[in-house]
Structure 1
């Protein structure tokens, strides 16, 4: 299913207005009282404030953090256990912290006074002692931000949170679909995250998308979602984001949330060693029953215990961890280093950069000459684009190899030789000679007679005869028989062997890899060095360049091309057997995408992704790049001299894209468009009526 999120939910509104007169406040120490004010669920609070009906029995109640507490699971009235202890702040304890912060009064602290405090708290023995005794809950968001270094990161960042939200929402990242699936699974027992209309869901979506965009090496990890949801209960959205960024980038090793989970696996080894040394009885039990400890504790570490312990305990753990982790991140590992040997340098995560364009006034006053630093950043950006594109291509290739072992011998090394370019067009011309006639089953068809061919949905059938319009003869697993033609879909297998790994109707993973990973990488390449419009409101998108370049390539012989396009039954083969050139094929695909997508009012990003899917289906994506880059006049109009497309660097990208021509894709170009209404007559009923009309057979479908 496609992602269906409201546009307003992807927009960050900024600071929360706490002075709203209509805001319903929770009772101190009662349900939702420990939440940050912007997370108070007004609908539930309104119900709680209504007079109770003596005849009604509530199914559950809520604790201070918004978690549902079933009546049978709640504490007894005389219980001294954790759930029975009121979560109420001690005024004397709060005053001690205010004294430490050099505040003279214990009332509500104005924002202006907080701005005067240091971005980081000085690390003293007094602070450590105070942290061990606990942080007052009302001061916890401010203290955490200063104790962890998140406030310093927020203030010193080149990008604002609003810019990050906008950048992460403008493109369909591969992680967006995974994030959307896990939104309601992250904290279902909390009323702030229990349904799509809960106050925390759009905030969690924006925070997780922003993290996945800012740290592309990590992307999305399920453990980070639980941490972010816990932070959103206490901190405002922007502060929660920068706290998460600090945890991921500074407080934890760089490989903690990577695809290999190397950092957290190292922690599991350390934990196992510590248990063996200091808890031998537990170690004996684990060894006796052959229990792998990491299967139990790995998720504890990934979520920093947010998924394990009660919120009241979690806050105390995080109080200490924010302080101690900051010391460890700042000074390096302290344990097991008695001789003070210098530690290895801390690894750092790759982080996206956002360069702001000069305004018209700045360009007029100071010119547009690029400095030496700008040249270095451009070179770095070029390398990043190529590395990202290369990695996405390899991910796609590994996907095909894992699903279809027959492809293990496919070469994943790009061929940069001059001979490879001359072979491209020879291979392209020969594609029509190796065409197979096979079809993919759209529905199950049960075999009742010996002359029928039964099959299951997504089976691949070899077509023997298509003489009859409605009933074809085919072969499957050594059996031959007839079957309804409407039950199958012909496959385009020119020069390629069909595999379910490349069919988006069978494999959901290939959709994520192509539309969520490859397409953004190709778009980043096409956008590199693109000239920005000199007038306000002017649009600038690779799709506009592709439209103009493809039209220019075929307009010399427009009339003959148009006649062939009308008669053509496939994208590549004309009625008279002539193979369309890559230029003609590109033009036809661009026009086809415009025809279908304009009716649905699709954005240019969607059009570009659909065109890339068509290029993969036809195995000509690398040749299309050559067509576009060879149109020198249009390239110079749209691109800067230092851009990839306007330099010889595009040849290297073409060689990388050629790797994908070895794989058979069967992608639906209309995947992102709204689904058409279902046919009024079901497919099976239509086939039954057809067979009755032609007096062929009579059987019960």
Structure 2
């Protein structure tokens, strides 16, 4: 049972406020975080995710139903077309999406979100996030609000907009940490001329849905959704995956070998879920939120300046 918490038919009480009420609150928060790292019980996961992610606070009665019921006359045709294309190739090995109601629910959530957030609309990767939320949350509406909180409150601004600037900047930040934490692997990748960013970009954009099995993914999401450093934890998970696979990656002596291994085999070689979580948490001593945010902002600033330079050269 979660500490000082009652999770039943009613609301989840007090979890989101832990850690903000003096020494006792901070002590309870540390205890709660330790339990989160060990995995939230399946029976409680949906309600705890809603509370801790901020989805419960965002929720407005009737709002989701209104979005779903809209006529669609004002929808962006390109966005709707991309959603329709992607929902039929999402989690096709899962019977809920292959033969069950999953496709319709996924379409409903993604269309509703595109209407809520026209600046983002829809971006590939969001289909995988929403689909996995549907496997956990009690309803499509619950999944919608957690998706909204992830995009709007937890991940950096501009992560899913048309420029993808923040998500691309995060790949430069990750590459810096790889050079610092895994210098042998970093040198090996450089020697082979491999752009790690091209391989890890989708990890971040899909919040690891495209490279972790469901059990491991939900353990990672327990931390991402239920602690106040979710966006930072993504770097810890990425580095942990690379660290746990470093020996195998160093044995690949061609670019094709490395690309194939990272794309298809990163979680196949005796990596336990507990081991991944422990390795990820240990990297919190190296990967600090303020450092990540500073590096991300520096990368985004450099990209903006480069864009200005390119625009000026074209205008001449």
TM-score interval for Structure 1 and Structure 2 normalised by the shorter chain: 0.5 to 0.7
CA distance in 2, matches of 1:334, 1:207: 30
Say if 2:152 is the partner of 1:249. yes
TM-score (norm 1): 0.31
* CA-CA distance at 1:158 after TM superposition: 7.5
Counterpart residue number, 1:210: 112
Alignment check: 8 A CA contact 2:189 2:195 kept: yes
Alignment check: 8 A CA contact 1:187 1:193 kept: yes
Relative to 1, partners in 2 of residues 1:224 and 1:291: Cα closer, same or farther, differing over 3 Å?
same
Counterpart residue number, 1:322: 225
3-state SS in 1 of match to 2:126: helix
Counterpart residue number, 1:120: 16
CA distance in 1, matches of 2:12, 2:191: 58
Query: For 1:365-444, what aligned pairs fall within 5 Å after superposition?
Result: none
Could you list the per-position Cα deviations for residues 313-352 of structure 1 after superposition, in whole angstroms to 9, with x for gaps in the alignment? 10111111113345779xxx83339xxx9xx9xxxxxxxx
Counterpart residue number, 1:222: 124
* CA-CA distance at 1:296 after TM superposition: 0.7
Say if 2:258 is the partner of 1:335. no
Counterpart residue number, 1:178: 82
Counterpart residue number, 1:308: 211
Relative to 1, partners in 2 of residues 1:126 and 1:204: Cα closer, same or farther, differing over 3 Å?
same
Equivalent in 33, 40, 58 of residue 135 of structure 1: 40
Alignment check: 8 A CA contact 2:53 2:225 kept: yes
Could you list the per-position Cα deviations for residues 14-73 of structure 1 after superposition, in whole angstroms to 9, with x for gaps in the alignment? xxxxxxxxxxxxxxxxxxxxxxxxxxxxxxxxxxxxxxxxxxxxxxxxxxxxxxxxxxxx
Counterpart residue number, 2:170: 267
Could you list the per-position Cα deviations for residues 529-556 of structure 1 after superposition, in whole angstroms to 9, with x for gaps in the alignment? xxxxxxxxxxxxxxxxxxxxxxxxxxxx
Relative to 1, partners in 2 of residues 1:277 and 1:220: Cα closer, same or farther, differing over 3 Å?
same
Counterpart residue number, 1:239: 142
Counterpart residue number, 2:304: none
Could you list the per-position Cα deviations for residues 356-388 of structure 1 after superposition, in whole angstroms to 9, with x for gaps in the alignment? xxxxxxxxxxxxxxxxxxxxxxxxxxxxxxxxx
3-state SS in 1 of match to 2:42: coil
CA distance in 2, matches of 1:194, 1:178: 19
TM-score (norm 2): 0.67
Counterpart residue number, 2:192: 289
Let me know the Cα RMSD of the aligned residues: 2.6
Could you list the per-position Cα deviations for residues 548-599 of structure 1 after superposition, in whole angstroms to 9, with x for gaps in the alignment? xxxxxxxxxxxxxxxxxxxxxxxxxxxxxxxxxxxxxxxxxxxxxxxxxxxx
Relative to 1, partners in 2 of residues 1:168 and 1:130: Cα closer, same or farther, differing over 3 Å?
farther
Relative to 1, partners in 2 of residues 1:212 and 1:116: Cα closer, same or farther, differing over 3 Å?
closer
Say if 2:189 is the partner of 1:189. no
Equivalent in 262, 274, 277 of residue 180 of structure 2: 277
* CA-CA distance at 1:172 after TM superposition: 4.1
CA distance in 1, matches of 2:96, 2:223: 26
Query: For 1:444-463, what aligned pairs fall within 5 Å after superposition?
Result: none
Alignment check: 8 A CA contact 2:167 2:201 kept: yes
3-state SS in 2 of match to 1:322: helix
Could you list the per-position Cα deviations for residues 463-501 of structure 1 after superposition, in whole angstroms to 9, with x for gaps in the alignment? xxxxxxxxxxxxxxxxxxxxxxxxxxxxxxxxxxxxxxx
CA distance in 2, matches of 1:278, 1:234: 34
Structure with greater Cα Rg: 1
Equivalent in 131, 138, 144 of residue 49 of structure 2: 144
Structure with the bigger RCO (C-alpha within 8 Å, sep 6+) is 2
Relative to 1, partners in 2 of residues 1:159 and 1:102: Cα closer, same or farther, differing over 3 Å?
closer
Relative to 1, partners in 2 of residues 1:283 and 1:128: Cα closer, same or farther, differing over 3 Å?
same
Counterpart residue number, 1:529: none
Counterpart residue number, 1:81: none
Relative to 1, partners in 2 of residues 1:327 and 1:192: Cα closer, same or farther, differing over 3 Å?
closer
3-state SS in 2 of match to 1:255: coil
Alignment check: 8 A CA contact 2:156 2:231 kept: no
How many correspondences in the alignment? 230
* CA-CA distance at 1:241 after TM superposition: 0.1
Instruction: For structure 2, list consecutive stretches of 5 or more residues without a partner in the other structure.
Output: 20-28, 233-287, 298-313
Instruction: For structure 1, list consecutive stretches of 5 or more residues without a partner in the other structure.
Output: 1-95, 104-108, 345-407, 409-701
